[in-house]
Structure 1
């Protein structure tokens, strides 16, 4: 009987190890995160990014700030075309508010107006393509800094047919992107390569860190949701990043498929000013403290120094 029990435990353990690892790729701040570039650079940026995704058949979703489509009251044609290119590539678009404004600094009513203003073009593009327009991504990952605001936003999104787009793999990619953008403008190819190589290593370590957090919270891998942005860094290095993730066992699924994982029904009672991952929200809700959060990879010092930013 004892040997049979040990055998069953071993089989269960092997089953957990063999469980497929999946990830949804979500990309914020369309069309293009960074400013200060001409139209040719941004068009090429968008095309390279889409090529990385389509060549690997990755069903990504892009979250749009529609303010980026305008100069004054006039739509910028090439930026509009950047969005249509996503749709014609078979990819999905979602709402990231009109102007990426911080919910913590607004009343619910003010924020809801910014959400509605941010859907006027993208929602129609999706409808014209026969695709659902359904996901909302919180700027700064802020869901509200009071219980009343959290509840108000949840109720608003549900009433307007939106599904919240969570993030389980949060990271400091935006710091790498700022450093890479600076090196690009300086035509410093050596620094671009150094930043890009460090970025891939850092992002692989981030995933491994969150894998361990999953085992501690759920006792198993979960379907992850990765947050990155549409920027020059990813236009050059997204292919290498996806290859690195495939190398550690991941396949890529749609956000809809990822959200079928029961992990996303885990209670989240976090209220505060911080913009943290859903992994951290679930952990805080369960009362995790201190040592539970140790070991998270940090942005290399040379990237911080070169960008002039801090984590």
Structure 2
């Protein structure tokens, strides 16, 4: 039998260390919130920033992606500016650009979307500078990065020229759809039905986190630092506490967006050149067949999809 060499022993030791590190790595997730500030909800709630206050009380890091057009969508411009500044100055927040008016890039094209990027940073840059912060992240509305590879390449180059980092996500749970149904029941005095939708939202969010965790473990053989995408809306105002509590019960650490981005998975090249806003875990896959195979295993959202469609049809 050959005597082990120093190099072979060192290699085995390094493999052992990597294995131990992967095994012991704690699960984590960061919270990112799109479509901030929800000034319509702010007005309805008598200028009380409930979601922001709840996040502040939880004392967790969070990142917001801002549509500045929302500041001028009613006659209370000054109040709305105060709200935007409150979000940005919060000790736990990171601010990002989400375009001026939430335009879909593949629909409006390069020139109009560049204008959306530039107009969407004016107020935000003022407030981040005032509060000694930075503006360096951009998230596409609908996570639509273009209709084809040409649009993808063009806009990436423009964002890079402005020192923006494109904001990814790994987990989302169609909270916008749950919110629509939730508000429909609340507005029609059907409180019990609204509560059932809220609990369904929490349950499916946890299911989806578990699904994407399993997917990541299957592909990368370790926990990854997940990024959750949700929105500034009523259902999160009422149920984000429950979601955070249950995530912590599942041994998830709530970390900052910047901490999540330290995971090497986010250095991978995105070669998905379509307009659909899928998880980055799908974008990094080599083939469409692999994506479809995993998508077929996702938790079933048909119940909320059916309810949403029925409400739309009636209206």
State the TM-score, normalizing by the size of structure 2. 0.87
Task: Tell me the distance in 1 between the aligned counterparts of 2:176 and 2:161.
Answer: 32
C-alpha spacing 1:276/1:296, structure 2 compared with 1 (3 Å): same
Contact 1:180 1:196 in 2 (8 A): yes
The corresponding residue for 2:196 is 194
The corresponding residue for 1:304 is 305
C-alpha spacing 1:286/1:223, structure 2 compared with 1 (3 Å): farther
1:43 aligns with 2:47: yes
The corresponding residue for 1:4 is none
The corresponding residue for 2:232 is 230
C-alpha spacing 1:304/1:286, structure 2 compared with 1 (3 Å): closer
Q: How does 1:51-200 map to 2 (within 5 A)?
A: 51-71=53-73, 76-90=77-91, 91-200=93-202
C-alpha spacing 1:71/1:291, structure 2 compared with 1 (3 Å): closer
Shift, 1:309, TM fit? 6.6
Task: Tell me the distance in 1 between the aligned counterparts of 2:71 and 2:166.
Answer: 23
Task: Tell me the distance in 1 between the aligned counterparts of 2:293 and 2:96.
Answer: 36
Which of the numbers 24, 30, 34 marks the counterpart of 1:28?
A: 34
> How many residue pairs are counted as aligned between the two chains?
301
Task: Tell me the distance in 1 between the aligned counterparts of 2:18 and 2:120.
Answer: 47
Task: Tell me the distance in 1 between the aligned counterparts of 2:233 and 2:85.
Answer: 17
C-alpha spacing 1:261/1:116, structure 2 compared with 1 (3 Å): same
Post-superposition Cα deviations, 1:252-271, rounded to whole Å, max 9, x if no partner, equal: 11111111110001121111
C-alpha spacing 1:29/1:289, structure 2 compared with 1 (3 Å): closer
Task: Tell me the distance in 2 between the aligned counterparts of 1:95 and 1:102.
Answer: 14
Contact 2:172 2:205 in 1 (8 A): no
C-alpha spacing 1:264/1:143, structure 2 compared with 1 (3 Å): same
Contact 1:32 1:42 in 2 (8 A): no
C-alpha spacing 1:309/1:88, structure 2 compared with 1 (3 Å): farther
Contact 2:173 2:204 in 1 (8 A): no
SS of the equivalent of 1:198 reads helix
SS of the equivalent of 1:270 reads coil
Q: How does 1:12-27 map to 2 (within 5 A)?
A: 15-27=21-33
Post-superposition Cα deviations, 1:113-155, rounded to whole Å, max 9, x if no partner, equal: 0111111111111111110011101111111122111111111
RMSD between aligned alpha carbons?
A: 2.7
State the TM-score, normalizing by the size of structure 1. 0.88
Task: Tell me the distance in 1 between the aligned counterparts of 2:103 and 2:298.
Answer: 28
